Amino acid sequence: MNATPEAARAILRANDRGGYTVPTAGLYPYQWNWDSAFSALGWMTFDEPRAWRELTRLFEGQWPDGMVPHIVFHRWNGDYFPGPEVWRTRHDPPTSGITQPAVLATAVRRCWEGAKNRPLAKANAAALYPRLLAWHRWWAAARDPEQTGLVAMLHPWESGMDNSPAWDEAFARVRPEPVSAIRRTDTGHVDPSMRPSEDFYKRVIALVDLYAGLDWEPARLWRETPFKIADLAINSILHRANRDLLALAERFGSASERDEIAARLNLSAQAIERLWSGQAGIYYSFDLMAGESIPAATSAGFLPAWAGVARREQLAAMSKTLDRWRAALGYLVPSTSPEDARFEPRRYWRGPVWAVVNFMIGQGFAECGAVETAQCIRDDTAALISHAGFCEYFDPRNGEGLGGGDFSWTAAVALAWNLLGPAD
């Protein structure tokens, strides 16, 4: 497999659509929120102006209340469902009505600190900082109105880990009765065995229809949703992003803004700590509707290391959990525990390994001092890409590449994490 730096750069160039990067041709023809954050990190390794353009183009979709949607439909492509006609958000450019994990502040900070063109970096970071702040304020106001320290997702797609088994019980409360006609285009590009089920699509579109009927008004969504989860991935990534936003605020913000961000960090650190399960050796998400922990071990459960809130004894316990998973499989980190009866090694977020999640978990463990575990995750990620190329995700048993091919964020992470050896 030609997994070289030049091959990774070629994928980003091929998926460039004029200042924004599609995840892959055909399957995902628009700009996705957290995909673009990772893509920017890849672009930054060889084209700084293009990295900044990636980030600024995503903010063309930001809503007046600060929300940054999970898809920006810059130009029409009928080969994708659900498109703007289903979301009905009345935004220009058209967007979806939900968001995704808040990787953007982390990407901006990394681009700012790693930039060689300092005037360009200063101009872009200064312009993006207030927009990032507005988005983080939206998270706190719209998704944690009671100020618990944990923000909620109201749709599985917001987690980025769409069909994770962690949502199965809570998602069963959503009636699979959409108003919009479902037109699956994804299974025309990828084998259906690798994609979410028909039942999943009925429920996710039923939620979209419900929220569109509420005109996407955050307070109404909060009151009337049947699905409200404090997701570990969202909360850990947002905590890390607030740390990075605070660093940006030291350069571009005011004292009151720095105090505001620091207060939020203190609140969320305490809240994430409450999600730890010592018995399971991993963190669990929390069902806010049922008022109970969700005992599903997934890759999201290791992301408090990325947030920087995991203590030494928790890192040690998580390392043992990962050792056990790897012994049962072959490669880390599967998106669902192989010990879970719902583990499906080829189906989207129910088992496969995702390079971007490995990047966050691996970097988090390294920064927290768990160097051996971090190196194992990094080595496994490099081996998967070397074996199967820049695929969307990978079978954790044999390393087979799955999902879409020539995938932007996989190529970007390989570049940003320096998995491919010296440049060509």
Tokens 């980025």 belong to residue: 160
User: How many whole angstroms separate alpha carbon 18 and alpha carbon 115?
Assistant: 22
Catalytic residue from among 47, 65, 162, 168: 162
| CA-based nearest residue to 77, from 35, 33, 28 | 28
Would you give the DSSP letter of residue 292? E
Burial class (CB in 10 A: 0-12, 13-18, 19+), 60: middle
Assess whether 16 carries a catalytic annotation: no
Q: Note the residue count of the chain.
A: 424
Assess whether 250 carries a catalytic annotation: no
Amino acid at 356: V
CA angle 338-340-345, nearest 5°?
45
Contacts of 311 by beta carbon, 8 Å cutoff, 6+ apart: none
Sign, CA torsion 384/387/392/398: negative
- The helix or strand, by DSSP H or E, that contains position 107, with its residue range, turns out to be helix 104-114
Distance (Å) of CA 23 to CA 34, 84, 147, 416: 10, 18, 34, 16
Return the active site residues.
162, 392
